[in-house]
Amino acid sequence: MNSYAVIFDMDGVICHTNPYHAKAFDAFFKKYNIESSEKEFEEHMYGKHNSYIMQHFFKRPISANELKQLEFEKEELFRTIYKDEITPIPGYIEFLTELKNYNFKTGVATSAPKENMDLILDGLGLRSKMGSILCSEDVTAHKPDPEVYLKSAYNLAVDPKNCVVFEDSFSGITAGLNAGMTVVAVLSSHSKEQLPICHEYINDYTELSANKILTLLEKA
């Protein structure tokens, strides 16, 4: 039995959703007369939790109740925009299938709300392939805190040092490293230079194989 696990973030890792989140935020901010730019999205939206995003763009503290209402409004816009566009990053489904054939345990650890996670996992038929599924509501400390990855390793019954994390953001990569895991950066939203130093960088999953993941783990 293989004692290794691969844990995937979702946005920017399973699907390249950031352009659709940007469209949703653009419509959301226009409603509230908030000006924003693509550069500001890159620096203050991608890979960030909604509490940070809302407080940055609204330029004021946001109460828990108000955050819940604003978050639901924006994420509902995203789901409406993305529901007919759900597409995995090239090579992802084939790579996941190969991992399962090699008896890797697999999981999802996203900062997205449950409704978004359900939309993508069910839209791509991935739920049955994941031994651990965690979203924003399942943790108390968000990335770069390692809680979601340590909890994933616990759920999968795999030592953190035997886990490989796939991430696309600064905070997500930092969370994986803070968990003591091997981290692969997916360059869907950021360049290599914009991200922390980690163990491997890919543009998409056509560049990877299960054997390459085993090699990375052996080097760790």
Task: Give residue-wise pLDDT tens across range 49-81.
Answer: 778 888 888 889 989 899 889 989 999 999 999
| Domain encompassing residue 75 | 18-82
Number of domains the chain is built from: 2
Q: How far is CA 40 from CA 33, 35, 140, 175, in A?
A: 16, 10, 26, 22
- Using alpha carbons, select from 129, 128, 123 the residue that is nearest to residue 99: 129
Q: Work out whether strand 163-167 and strand 182-186 pair parallel, antiparallel, or are unpaired.
A: parallel
Judgement on whether residues 121 and 152 belong to the same structural domain of the protein: yes
d(C-alpha 170, C-alpha 147), whole Å: 16
Could you say which residues of the chain have pLDDT below 50?
1
The domain boundary, picked from 49, 82, 115, lies at: 82
- Using alpha carbons, select from 119, 115, 112 the residue that is nearest to residue 85: 119
The domain boundary, picked from 82, 102, 129, lies at: 82
Q: pLDDT tens digit string along 11-31?
A: 999 999 989 988 998 899 899
Judgement on whether residues 71 and 108 belong to the same structural domain of the protein: no
Judgement on whether residues 24 and 124 belong to the same structural domain of the protein: no
pTM confidence score: 0.90
Domain containing residue 22: CATH number: 1.10.150.240
